[in-house]
């Protein structure tokens, strides 16, 4: 097994947010401090990343989306308070009255229209978020507070899909331009950014927000090393910590912290590059489905979960998670069977194995163990760790230096299985995996308003994708959070931390 790193830090095996539980340092009574392993590489541009890490823990403090994803399946009010489906391709949304952006611009239908017009513009073509809204054909203002959307095809979950649409003030967006707006972001959220420089983001409350916060200030601090984040937490320098090694949980509890494990919309896989491989990258072995199946049987996922993940996760069997619409409960994970793996490799003509390169951005210890397991059946997997920003560029352009890469993929914000098809199918352009035989099934599920029929279509889609084995299926993730003695009202719903509802007991 080989392991290389382009990143001078380690990553945690479990996504965990932790809060300070002892206080050797006096924390400001009015400031909630969050330690994160990274800050958004797109800075304050909400269209650089919709729902990935670290953005998902930071953007909702500043921005609001048109709808939200409620605790149950389906859309909940956000900047829109109600909506109706006029016909299969027409939707009308009524906006929240008396809402203003941090700079004083009013929220109205025209602001939503301007966002959609920008997504249709040439500069938006390089925005990762743009692909989430390909289904929108147009938007227009019916009146000051009512916006009408036309979709390119029937979209029964369109209201849920707008839980990904952050709204920016049109005047500031146009006058500042994307680059300057990224440094001075403006939204309607509970906090407004006062400083976005270096390793710290500072924010102050906006009492006019419809989600008026109870804590007057919030800071996000970049602490790449897990040990540094843990020390900041335990010493009282931070209140919330994002992503910690599972072995730290007992120490946090011993210090008086509360650990909260919430369902996550994410799964972890080692994806195969099956389309658009870089020159001189040999993907011939992976083109054989028997090889892809063999690699799945060769990895002892139960052991990895127990020994590296604290036994907190569940094995993954498909491109969905149990909390999502369309999850197929009948599918089971590929069992650990190294003998079967060797037989399949021999049958495919690779009895002597072959070499692979994996580019990973997180969970390096997991992929190191995957490499060790593959070595036992003759496959030499070299693991190279890349920084988050580099991984993002590679994923966006489907330009990988190897044949595999780590994929932390999710069904959020819609909490619907069809979300996976945005990035894990022929719909991604350029793509790394495209089974054209599956697309009619995905298209049918997209357009089906009968919920029972749609669920059946999604179950079938998940079964067929699993049978095609486009990745090494690993784990369904969890959001494991912990908070300390002075934090009150902590809650995580679909990866959104309710900063505005938290209070600090000093």
Q: Which of 408, 361, 406, 470 lies closest to 267 in space, CA to CA?
A: 408
In a shared domain, residues 220 and 269 = no
Structure tokens at 147: 């916006």
Average pLDDT over residues 83-99: 97
Beta bridge partners of residue 271, listed in sequence order: 405, 471
Instruction: For 151-217, give the DSSP string.
Output: ESS--TTHHHHGGG-B---HHHHHHHHHHHHHHS---SSSEEEEEEETTEEEEEE-TTSTT--SSSE
Residue 276: HSE in the Cβ half-sphere, 13 Å Cα cutoff? 16
In a domain, 4, yes or no: no
Whichever domain contains 104, its CATH number is 3.90.76.10
In a domain, 397, yes or no: yes
Residues 365-416: tens digit of each pLDDT: 899 999 999 999 999 999 999 988 899 889 989 999 999 999 988 887 788 8
Residue 23, pLDDT > 70, answer no
Residue 10, pLDDT > 60, answer no
In a shared domain, residues 448 and 343 = yes
**Domain-terminating residue out of 169, 199, 229:** 169
In a domain, 3, yes or no: no
In a domain, 2, yes or no: no
Query: Given this model, what pLDDT does residue 235 score?
Result: 83
Give the pTM: 0.79
pLDDT band at residue 22 using 50, 70 and 90 as cut-offs: very low
Query: Given this model, what pLDDT does residue 262 score?
Result: 79
In a shared domain, residues 328 and 428 = yes
DSSP 112: H
Those residues whose C-beta lies under 8 Å from the C-beta of residue 465, and which sit 6 or more positions away, are: 318, 319, 424, 435, 438
In a domain, 119, yes or no: yes
In a shared domain, residues 24 and 108 = no
Structure tokens at 316: 């993954």
Whichever domain contains 334, its CATH number is 3.10.105.10
In a shared domain, residues 256 and 281 = no
Residue 9, pLDDT > 80, answer no
In a shared domain, residues 258 and 271 = no
CB atoms under 10 Å from CB of 484, counted, come to 27
d(C-alpha 16, C-alpha 242), whole Å: 5
Q: How many residues does the chain have?
A: 506
Residues 450-502: tens digit of each pLDDT: 989 999 999 999 999 999 999 999 999 888 777 878 889 999 887 889 999 99
Residue 20, pLDDT > 70, answer no
Residues 108-137: tens digit of each pLDDT: 999 999 999 999 998 887 787 877 788 899
% the chain with pLDDT above 70: 93
In a domain, 291, yes or no: yes
**Domain-terminating residue out of 139, 169, 199:** 169
In a shared domain, residues 194 and 110 = no
CA-to-CA dists, residue 19 to 10, 229, 486, 505, angstroms: 20, 10, 9, 13
Structure tokens at 57: 């823990």
Q: Considering only residues 111 and 37, tell me which one the structure prediction assigns the higher pLDDT.
A: 111
Structure tokens at 379: 């496959």
Domain interval for residue 473: 264-477
Residue 250, pLDDT > 90, answer no
In a shared domain, residues 342 and 225 = no
Total structural domains in the chain? 3
Whichever domain contains 499, its CATH number is 3.40.190.10
In a domain, 41, yes or no: yes
Residue 190, pLDDT > 90, answer yes
d(C-alpha 90, C-alpha 94), whole Å: 14
In a domain, 112, yes or no: yes
In a shared domain, residues 48 and 197 = yes
Q: Where do the DSSP E strands lie in 198-282?
A: 200-205, 217-222, 240-242, 258-272
Q: Considering only residues 223 and 294, tell me which one the structure prediction assigns the higher pLDDT.
A: 294
Structure tokens at 197: 């420089």
**Domain-terminating residue out of 147, 169, 191:** 169
Q: Where do the DSSP E strands lie in 323-444?
A: 354-360, 379-385, 404-410
In a shared domain, residues 256 and 180 = yes
Those residues whose C-beta lies under 8 Å from the C-beta of residue 264, and which sit 6 or more positions away, are: 15, 321, 410, 476, 477, 478, 479, 495
Those residues whose C-beta lies under 8 Å from the C-beta of residue 120, and which sit 6 or more positions away, are: none
% the chain with pLDDT above 90: 64
In a shared domain, residues 50 and 148 = no
Query: Given this model, what pLDDT does residue 124 score?
Result: 87
d(C-alpha 291, C-alpha 363), whole Å: 24
Residues 317-350: tens digit of each pLDDT: 999 999 889 999 999 999 999 999 999 999 999 9
Query: Given this model, what pLDDT does residue 14 score?
Result: 42
In a shared domain, residues 385 and 279 = yes
Q: Which of 60, 28, 242 lies closest to 167 in space, CA to CA?
A: 60
């Amino acid at each position: 097994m080989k392991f290389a790193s382009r990143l001078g830090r380690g990553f945690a095996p479990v996504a965990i947010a932790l809060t300070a539980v002892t206080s050797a340092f006096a924390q400001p009574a009015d400031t909630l401090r969050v330690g994160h392993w990274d800050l958004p590489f797109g800075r304050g541009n909400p269209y650089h990343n919709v729902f990935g890490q670290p953005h998902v823990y930071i953007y909702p403090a500043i921005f609001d989306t048109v709808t939200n994803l409620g605790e149950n399946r389906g859309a909940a009010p956000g900047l829109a308070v109600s909506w109706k489906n006029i016909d299969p391709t027409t939707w009308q949304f009524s906006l929240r009255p008396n809402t203003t952006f941090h700079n004083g611009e009013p929220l109205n239908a025209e602001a939503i229209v301007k966002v959609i017009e920008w997504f249709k513009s040439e500069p938006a073509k390089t925005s990762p978020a743009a692909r989430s809204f390909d289904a929108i054909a147009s938007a227009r203002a019916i009146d000051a507070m009512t916006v009408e959307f036309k979709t390119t095809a029937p979209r029964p979950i369109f209201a849920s899909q707008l839980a990904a649409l952050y709204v920016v003030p049109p005047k500031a967006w146009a006058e500042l331009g994307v680059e300057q707006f990224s440094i001075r972001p403006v939204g309607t959220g509970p906090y407004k950014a006062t400083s976005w420089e270096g390793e710290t983001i500072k924010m102050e409350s906006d009492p006019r927000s419809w989600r008026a916060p109870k804590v007057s200030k919030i800071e996000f601090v970049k602490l790449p090393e897990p040990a540094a984040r843990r020390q900041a937490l335990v010493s009282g320098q931070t209140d919330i910590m994002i992503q910690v090694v599972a072995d730290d949980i007992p120490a946090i509890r011993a210090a008086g912290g509360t650990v909260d494990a919430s369902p996550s919309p994410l799964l972890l896989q080692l994806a195969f590059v099956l389309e658009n491989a870089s020159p001189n990258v040999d993907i011939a072995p992976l083109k054989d489905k028997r090889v892809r199946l063999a690699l799945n049987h060769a990895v002892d996922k139960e052991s990895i979960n127990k020994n590296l993940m604290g036994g907190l996760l569940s094995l993954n069997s498909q491109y969905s998670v149990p909390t999502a619409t369309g999850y197929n409960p009948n599918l089971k994970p590929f069992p650990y069977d190294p003998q079967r793996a060797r037989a399949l490799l021999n049958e495919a003509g690779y009895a002597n194995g072959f070499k692979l390169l994996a580019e990973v951005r997180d969970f390096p210890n997991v992929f190191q163990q995957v490499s060790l397991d593959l070595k036992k059946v003759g496959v030499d997997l070299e693991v190279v760790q890349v920084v988050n920003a580099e991984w993002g560029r590679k994923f966006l352009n489907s330009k990988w230096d190897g044949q595999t890469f780590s994929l932390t993929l999710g069904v959020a914000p819609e909490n619907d299985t069809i979300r996976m098809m945005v990035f894990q199918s022929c719909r991604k352009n350029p793509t790394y995996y495209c089974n054209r035989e599956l697309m009619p099934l995905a298209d049918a599920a997209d357009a089906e308003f009968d919920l029972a029929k749609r669920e059946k279509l999604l179950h079938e889609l998940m079964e067929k994708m699993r049978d095609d084995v486009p990745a090494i299926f690993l784990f369904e993730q969890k959001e494991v959070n912990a908070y300390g003695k002075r934090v009150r009202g902590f809650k995580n719903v679909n990866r959104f931390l309710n900063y505005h509802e938290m209070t600090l007991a000093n």
